[in-house]
Amino acid sequence: MIALIITTNPATISFAEAVLRDAEIECFVMDQNMSVLEPGIMIPKRVMVLADDLDDARQVLTDAGIGAELA
């Protein structure tokens, strides 16, 4: 899997997940529970996609208006 978005903004993560789900592109959010292990530290979360879906995922998110958030 390849990191598509790396951010601490939960709204961006949720929106990206919804857009990718609607486009039927499988994704996974990594580091989602790291703040439990290290409270007080803003640890970025990563939206991961399969390498085969990377180009399609980039295009879908760019079309949705969050292309500037892409890693």
Q: What pLDDT is stored for residue 32 in this prediction?
A: 83
Task: Name 62's Cβ contacts closer than 8 Å, sequence gap at least 6.
Answer: 70
| Three-state secondary structure call for residue 25 | coil
* All domains in the chain, ordered by first residue: 2-69 (3.30.70.790)
Rounded-to-integer distance, Cα 26 and Cα 68, Å: 21
pLDDT digits (tens, 9 = 90+) for 21-63: 999 999 999 988 876 777 778 889 999 999 999 999 999 999 9
Rounded-to-integer distance, Cα 10 and Cα 45, Å: 8
Q: What pLDDT is stored for residue 9 in this prediction?
A: 92
Rounded-to-integer distance, Cα 8 and Cα 30, Å: 12
Q: Which amino acid is at 6?
A: I
